[in-house]
């Protein structure tokens, strides 16, 4: 398994195609925490599919003010078809060209397979990685870790006016 | 809850009535319960993936409606056994077959009477690490193996033996 970027690291910025004619960068989300969900491929079996699951949990992420971005090496047209088929209400980013470059910057690229790891990052408002987790490739990690991290992030903010002092950064 | 409350092992399933995998797992779960009999307690919690399964939520609310009249498991079994015909006409027909008030069910679905219960199950599942449907937990631990009979029984036996060894 790859060594992914740890909490306390600055999240590398990126600009990726989100539809065949739109781009999205991490800095576009200024002021909002982001959940980056790297995953191996669109079109994995339906009911156990990670993106389908996150789509259902989206209201919980948004309650915490966080934006969810799915990232894989699939192309924008592939993402578009997948989003439509699964009725996804969040953007899927195409780490397509140069292939896997953004995943590589996050330590979340599987060189031997040519796909992203199942790696999760919660990025805070100041573009610091607050929490990260890499799941075994065949195991959908669920959303409990993301939600627990978002809880801690919002508690930090309440108690410290935005200056993170969480144990997350201490390690 | 199906089985004795003081059973050594509790099997929890988070499921979606429209999910084909849950449909396939249903008879297997039945066999697993028969296999362990009084040693196993089975709990079903709702985890409707409504964006891809539009009938899952009304089905879950219908099961809860039946549950309010002590007919949860009958409704639960009937829904899975007739999964290929799932939809409002089936749910109303099942209510009638179970001697439940069809207009009562219609009103409960319209007023979303049982939606908070279903949502509470869903959110509890999300927080516990449910990662698709069906997701099983054995004594609180997520079972990452398959839902095949051998996989489930082997996993449950491990908990039974651990308990016996203590």
Q: Which domains does chain B have, with CATH numbers?
A: 9-165 (3.40.30.10)
| Cβ density class B96-126: b for 16+ within 10 Å, e for less | eeeebeeeebeebbeeebbbebbbebbbebb
Q: What is the pLDDT of residue A148?
A: 97
Considering the four listed CATH numbers 3.30.530.20, 3.40.30.10, 3.30.1280.10, 3.30.9.10, the one that applies to the domain covering A15-170 is 3.40.30.10
pTM: 0.89
- Report the residue from A46, A47, A142 with minimal CB separation from B129: A142
For residues A45 and A139, is the Cβ–Cβ distance under 8 A? no
Nearest chain B residue (CA) to A54: B131
For residues B142 and B30, is the Cβ–Cβ distance under 8 A? no
Beta bridge partners, B48, equal none
Reported as a single tens digit per residue, the pLDDT across A101-148 is: 999 999 999 999 999 999 999 999 999 999 999 999 988 999 999 999
pLDDT band at A162 (very low <50, low <70, confident <90, very high): very low
Reported as a single tens digit per residue, the pLDDT across B25-70 is: 999 999 999 999 999 999 999 999 999 999 999 999 999 999 999 9
Reported as a single tens digit per residue, the pLDDT across B82-127 is: 999 999 999 999 999 999 999 999 999 999 999 999 999 999 999 9
Separation CA A127–CA A5 (nearest Å): 13
Q: Which H helix or E strand runs over B137?
A: strand B135-138
Separation CA B43–CA B57 (nearest Å): 18
A140 interfacial to chain B (CB closer than 8 Å): yes
Number of H helices, E strands in chain A: 5, 9
Reported as a single tens digit per residue, the pLDDT across A22-68 is: 999 999 987 899 999 999 999 987 667 899 999 999 999 999 999 99
For residues B32 and B150, is the Cβ–Cβ distance under 8 A? no
Interface test with chain B among A39, A57, A142, by most B beta carbons within 10 Å: A142
Separation CA B99–CA B71 (nearest Å): 10
Complex ipTM value? 0.85
Reported as a single tens digit per residue, the pLDDT across A84-101 is: 999 999 999 999 999 999
The structural domains of chain A, with segments of one domain joined by +, span 15-170
């Amino acid at each position: 398994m790859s060594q992914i970027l740890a909490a306390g690291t600055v999240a590398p910025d990126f600009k990726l195609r989100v539809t065949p004619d739109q781009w999205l960068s991490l800095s576009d989300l200024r002021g909002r925490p982001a959940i980056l969900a790297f995953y191996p491929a669109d079109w994995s079996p339906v009911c156990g599919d990670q993106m389908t699951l996150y789509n259902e949990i989206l209201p919980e992420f948004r309650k915490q003010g966080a934006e969810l971005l799915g990232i894989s090496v699939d192309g924008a047209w592939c993402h578009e078809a997948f989003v439509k088929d699964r009725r996804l209400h969040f953007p899927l980013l195409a780490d397509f060209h140069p292939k896997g470059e953004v995943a590589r910057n996050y330590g979340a690229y599987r060189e031997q397979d040519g796909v992203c790891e199942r790696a999760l990052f919660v990025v805070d408002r100041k573009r610091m990685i607050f929490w990260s987790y890499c799941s075994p490739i065949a195991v959908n990690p669920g959303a409990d870790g993301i939600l627990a991290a978002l809880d801690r992030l919002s508690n930090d903010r309440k108690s410290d006016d935005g200056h993170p002092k969480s144990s997350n950064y201490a390690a | 809850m199906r089985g004795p409350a003081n059973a050594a092992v509790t099997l929890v399933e988070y499921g979606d009535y429209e999910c084909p995998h849950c449909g396939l797992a249903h008879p297997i779960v039945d066999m697993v319960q028969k296999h362990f009999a009084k040693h196993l307690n089975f709990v079903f919690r709702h985890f409707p993936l409504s964006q891809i399964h539009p009938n899952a939520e009304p089905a879950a609310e219908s099961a809860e409606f039946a549950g309010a009249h002590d007919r949860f498991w009958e409704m639960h079994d009937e829904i899975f056994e007739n999964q290929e015909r799932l939809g409002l006409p089936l749910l109303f027909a099942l209510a009638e077959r179970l001697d439940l008030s069809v207009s009562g069910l219609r009103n409960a679905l319209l007023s979303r009477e049982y939606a908070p219960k279903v949502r509470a199950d869903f959110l509890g599942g999300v927080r516990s690490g449910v990662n698709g449907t069906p997701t099983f937990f054995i004594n609180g631990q997520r079972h990452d193996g398959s839902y095949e009979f051998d996989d489930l029984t082997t996993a449950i036996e491990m908990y039974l033996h651990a308990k016996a060894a203590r």
